[in-house]
Amino acid sequence: MDAQNKIDRARWFEGSSANTSPPTGDLHQPWRLVLLGAPGVGKGTQGELLCQRLEICHISTGDLFRAAGNRKGGDQTPAMADAMKYMRHGDLVPDSVVWELVREQSDFLRSRKGFLLDGFPRTLAQAERLQLFMDDEKLSLTAVVDYEMPQAEITMRLSGRRICAQCKSVFHVTWRPPKTEGVCDDCGGRLYRRDDDNPASIAIRLEAYKHSTSPLIQFYKDLGLLTPVDAVGPADEVFARTMAALQARA
Ligand code: AMP
């Protein structure tokens, strides 16, 4: 890669106003990313930031399930109503139901723009299913970002987390309280606590992560895709670290 291309590429990653168009070279390829990491490490926030910067589609299975759960009774398939029970309890939804939901997004997965998967895959069977789909479509993942954070910090984050029902901004009762209790600083929307952000469900979700999702780290390491990122610290710092890690791979 020549020196000018290297500078352009660095500016584009940093979001410099001096150069907002994608650099030449291999970054023309669409970004196809997977975000791994325990619940509460900030995948949703980083996912939003990455999608804005890289101009790719954000696909969050948790958000898709919550949206499906908000549909009126008659509009919900029996499988989806069942999925809501797993979700409320903090358990993983069965692989077949999850894949059905992701398959409905296959136009986005095929998009020339690229995509970011947040909260999927979460089991080896899901990762293998995704790999099969990608092979069939002759597509490949660009990187799998693994956000790392000590468990004590994760529990503390989840138990005080509040989310804006409108713009999805994330607050924390102690570490990032809103100016007015229950009201989003960014858009004035209502803040709520997720049904599964209670101590019993948090323990089950962290156990599910350790048992089912952490084996994916080895799976993606073996494929040469794993990109570990330290998730401790303010969102903008974690974002800068993520960009640097992706840049190092590109
Ligand atoms: P999240 O918003 O990613 O924390 O997901 C919330 C909940 O949705 C999880 O605790 C699971 O019950 C369910 N869920 C989301 N994605 C998946 C997945 N890939 N596999 C199984 N369950 C999932």
- Coil vs helix vs strand at 171: strand
Amino acid at 170: V
Which candidate in 66, 176, 193, 194 is catalytic? 194
Q: What is the pLDDT of residues 106-129, one digit of tens each?
A: 999 998 889 999 999 999 999 999
User: DSSP for 13-62?
Assistant: HHT-TT--SPPSSGGGSPEEEEEE--TTSSHHHHHHHHHHHHT-EEEEHH
State how far the Cα of 129 lies from the Cα of 137, in Å rounded to an integer.
12
- Residue 137 pLDDT exceeds 50: yes
- H/E stretch holding 156 reads helix 151-159
Please say if 205 is a catalytic residue: yes
Contact (Cβ atoms closer than 8 angstroms) between residue 153 and residue 38: no
Q: Which atom of ligand 1 is nearest to the CA of 64?
A: 15
What value, to the nearest 5°, has the Cα angle with vertex 101 and ends 46 and 142? 45
- 3-class DSSP state of 167: coil
| pTM of the entire predicted model | 0.83
Residues near 124 by beta carbon (within 8 Å), at least 6 away in sequence: 212, 215, 216, 219
Is the C-beta atom of 61 inside 6 A of ligand 1?
yes
pLDDT of 66 higher than 90: no
Short-list 131, 142, 82, 81, CA closest to 102: 131
Q: Which of 112-116, 169-173, 224-228 has the highest mean pLDDT?
A: 224-228
Whether 194 is catalytic: yes
State how far the Cα of 79 lies from the Cα of 104, in Å rounded to an integer.
14
Averaged pLDDT score across all residues of the chain: 86
Give pLDDT, residue 50: 94
Q: Cα(230)–Cα(39) distance, rounded to whole angstroms?
A: 15
φ, ψ of residue 89 to 5 degrees: the values are -75, -20
Q: Ligand 1 pocket, 86 CB below 6 A?
A: yes
The answer to whether the bond into 22 is cis (omega within 30° of 0) is: no
Give the distance (Å) from ligand 1 centre to CA of residue 244. Answer: 28
pLDDT at 82: 83
DSSP 200-241: HHHHHHHHHIIIIITHHHHHHHHTT-EEEEE--S-HHHHHHH
Nearest-angstrom CA–CA distance, 233 and 23: 29
Say what the pLDDT of residue 2 is.
Answer: 42
Strands 31-36 and 114-118: parallel
The pLDDT value given to residue 78: 80
**Which position has the higher pLDDT, 75 or 200?**
200
Four-point Cα dihedral 106, 111, 117, 122, nearest 10: 30
Q: Which of 85, 122, 154 to mutate to test the pocket of ligand 1 (most atoms within 8 A of CB)?
A: 122
Q: Please state the atom number of ligand 1 nearest to the C-alpha of residue 102.
A: 19
In the chain, what are the domains? 3-149+212-249 (3.40.50.300), 151-197 (no CATH)
